[in-house]
Amino acid sequence: MSDTRPQSTHGAASVALESDVLARAAEVIKCLGHPLRLRLLESLETGERAVWELQEYSGATQAAVSQHLGSLRARGIVDSRREGTNVFYRITEPKVTSILNCIRRYDLPDRSEAT
């Protein structure tokens, strides 16, 4: 992968995140970068939900919901708990809530122009 380490030949911006921190952050962020996963997280913000609820709420197929929950879990973003035949998911990564709030706050990217 392209290097990404902070080298010396630069004016030094504030504190410079370490490469491994960036790499792990990128993994988590990338995982948030999918509409369905955002939707799932949004539904989990107010607390635990069973998979079937998430399915209904998102309108996505069973397999898709399960797989995307799996990928969120693999990164430690959510966790699950089985209760009888249901499996309940919940958010375990507090960062996520900040990011969702962030999306809500600005809502539209607003790429009209720039300046």
Partner DNA sequence: CTGCCATATTCATATGTTTTAATATAACAC
Partner DNA sequence: GTGTTATATTAAAACATATGAATATGGCAG
Interaction site with DNA (CB under 7 A): 1-2, 30, 34, 36, 50-52, 55, 61-64, 66-71, 80, 82, 84-87
Between 7 and 15, CB nearer to DNA: 7
Interface mask toward a copy of itself for 39-78; x: CB under 8 A: x--xx-xx------x--xxxxxx--x--------xxxx--
Identify the CA nearest to 39 among candidates 53, 25, 57: 57
Tell me the closest approach of the beta carbon of residue 18 to DNA, in angstroms: 17
Place of tokens 């370490």: 18
Closest contact distance (angstroms) between CB of 32 and a copy of itself is 5
Strands (E), 18-111: 49-50, 78-83, 86-91
**77 touches 71 (CB < 8 A):** no
Give the count of beta carbons closer than 10 Å to the beta carbon of residue 102: 9
Q: Is 24 in the site for a copy of itself (CB under 8 A)?
A: yes
